[in-house]
Amino acid sequence: MQNNKNFNMMPIAPLMIEHRLIEKMIKLMEEELHKINQGNEANPVFIEKAVDFFGTYADRCHHGKEEDILFRELAKKKLSSEHRKMMDELINEHIFGRKIVGRLANAKDKYTNTDYDTTKEIVECLETLVGFYPSHIKKEDKHFFIPCMEYFSQEEKDEMLDECWKFDRNIIHEKYQNIVKQLGA
């Protein structure tokens, strides 16, 4: 029975695995916050890597699969009002996360390229992300992903899983094609 349950969760398994890596990054952000709060300067290299992680991995790759695959397919189903409401909340939470990561990127840029001290804003953004993501992940893992698999046939689940793998394969190309465009080619 356990194998059957795991098989039925296949389309969401990659999403839940990705959550574990996001949780590790949150721990690192907590450590960076602790250093800053102990009187150390903000580490612009760490902040740049955190912005890249959340912009590329957490948002474009992870949230991209949720929004462009899972949520798209769920929107075609007759969802319970509870699940429809939660899906809308999750989409709004993704938008919120993007906004905070954007603020963090701007604060880091000002911190490294001007005389303006944006340490307070960097700390606020890090604290917001550290506080936000664990509850967001818990909502998806415990209250949304698993129950929503009941809306799909096994064939639909298999198709979504295949689409998730294809989505991942394209992310790296998309990222570096955008970098080349930004550099003027």
Domains and CATH numbers, the chain: 14-175 (1.20.120.520)
3-10 long-range contacts (CB < 8 A, ≥24 apart) are 7/154, 8/149, 8/154, 8/157, 9/145, 9/146, 9/149, 10/157, 10/158, 10/161
> Would you give per-residue pLDDT tens digits along the chain (185 residues)?
334 444 456 778 888 999 999 999 999 999 999 999 999 999 999 999 999 999 999 999 999 999 999 999 999 999 999 999 999 999 999 999 999 999 999 999 999 998 888 999 999 999 999 999 999 999 999 999 999 999 999 999 999 999 999 998 888 888 888 889 988 87
pTM as predicted: 0.89
174: Cα separation from own chain's centroid:
17
In terms of Cα–Cα distance, which of 41, 33, 65 is closest to 129?
Answer: 33
